[in-house]
Amino acid sequence: MTVIVLAVLAVVLPLALWGRVRGPLLIRGLARLAMVGFAQVTAVLVVFVAVNNTNGLFSDWDDLLGGGDHVAAAPDLGRDGLGGRRIADLPKTAQTFRPAAVPDGRVRTTLLRGQVSGVTAEVYVWLPPQYDDPAYRNVRFPVVELFSGYPGTPASWFAGLRVTERLEPLMRNGTVAPFILVAPRTKLLGDADAGCANVPGVVNAESWVSVDVRKMVTDHFRAVPTADGWAVAGFSAGGHCAAKIALAHPDRYRYAVTMSGYNDPAAEPDSITAKDPALRHANNPLTLLREAPAPPRLSLLVTGDGDDGYRQGLDLRAAAEPPTRIEVRRVTGGHRTSTWADQVPSVFTWLTGRLEGAGATASSLRR
């Protein structure tokens, strides 16, 4: 609304005041120059807001200016990210949902206070068309957690990639399984990229997405609770997150998709894990795969071109041993939203084809 008012003023003020400016020539010139400058700055601002609204890069001005810190506490939670607690022992989350500011009016959002991670941030949820169908009232649905790039917000998948617009017809005709789509905020530290990592004293982003968000979904929706009904998917920095989270927690996720992602955290200069050699090594998906106690039971799809994800996928595939399965696809088009948006149908078709989705439940979803 503020930008609209400014845009109107940028047009109206010169029309109303251009010929009415009084005073010496210098004063009149400066006043008219100020009006022209105001109009030009407003025009740039209007374009920026339009691009931001289309791609979901920042949620508000505070987010843009690096003031959006969503971390209340960051205790050391250990290797499993639970801090000695069991997920089953945590109290049920109490959430309220409202419509999200994205083109699809069925997307809902909630502010989640993470019981384990110490993160408080928004989470977007979209339920497939079959969810409220009486024929599916006893069915638990598979879930895909969606991670945005950096910078980015949960709206990126819904406003930029228009994931629901592309998938809903495919879910209705049975080409794609009716997944619950969940997009948590991953930009948690203002002007730094959390990298979906747990860093004691800084942020527990890994526990946020893999424990707190996951529990909220199973608490409030008919979601498959086991790993064979859960996947993660992301683009750019979100692709890095997807691979890292799935490889770190194959007990929580059975599938992952990374589009134009990377292995080395240093590929994102603002990543907090890129600045420390130990963190950089520990949060590299290739490290997680090579140093796993046993090859994880995981299916991973990697797409990209050249050094924009493809080579990194080949490195992961070369390091994989059964039952880890890694498929690498070369996709041209560049590091841009349109390239990832075009992949949405094929990516979710791939997920559907591998969905174990808790056995009989998966078969019923693909009827």
CATH of the domain at 230: 3.40.50.1820
Is residue 26 one of the residues assigned to a domain? yes
What is the pLDDT, as a whole number, of residue 34? Answer: 76
Domain of 18, in residue numbers: 1-55
**Residue 173 sits in the same domain as residue 26:** no
CB 274 within 8 A of CB 235: no
**Residue 139 sits in the same domain as residue 266:** yes
For every residue of 232-269, DSSP letters joined together read EEEETHHHHHHHHHHHH-TTT-SEEEEES--SSGGGST
Is residue 63 one of the residues assigned to a domain? no
**Residue 101 sits in the same domain as residue 243:** yes
Q: pLDDT by residue (tens digit) across 127-151?
A: 999 999 999 999 999 999 999 999 9
Taking alpha carbons only, the member of 263, 313, 258 closest to residue 285 is: 263
Instruction: With a cut of 50, say whether residue 362 has pLDDT above it.
Output: no
**Residue 114 sits in the same domain as residue 261:** yes
Is residue 61 one of the residues assigned to a domain? no
User: What's the pTM?
Assistant: 0.84
**Residue 240 sits in the same domain as residue 306:** yes
Is residue 188 one of the residues assigned to a domain? yes
d(CA 211, CA 218): 11
Give 3-state DSSP helix, strand, coil % of the chain, rounded to 5. Answer: 45, 15, 40
**Residue 161 sits in the same domain as residue 255:** yes
Sign of the C-alpha dihedral, residues 5, 10, 12, 18? positive
CB 254 within 8 A of CB 227: yes
**Residue 245 sits in the same domain as residue 342:** yes
**Residue 103 sits in the same domain as residue 25:** no
Q: Give the count of domains, the chain.
A: 2
**Mean pLDDT, rounded, for 249-261:** 98
Q: pLDDT by residue (tens digit) across 150-200?
A: 999 999 999 999 999 999 999 999 999 999 999 999 999 988 999 999 999
**Residue 270 sits in the same domain as residue 340:** yes
Is residue 60 one of the residues assigned to a domain? no
User: What does the angle CA 40 – CA 46 – CA 50 come to, to the nearest 5 degrees?
Assistant: 150
**Residue 45 sits in the same domain as residue 75:** no
Query: How many other CB atoms are there within 10 angstroms of residue 222's CB atom?
Result: 14
Is residue 323 one of the residues assigned to a domain? yes
Q: pLDDT by residue (tens digit) across 110-126?
A: 999 999 999 999 999 99
**Residue 51 sits in the same domain as residue 73:** no
Q: pLDDT by residue (tens digit) across 48-103?
A: 455 545 554 454 445 444 556 789 999 999 999 999 999 999 999 999 999 999 99
**Residue 3 sits in the same domain as residue 80:** no
| Domain final position from 27, 55, 83 | 55
d(CA 175, CA 346): 10
Residue type, 132: D
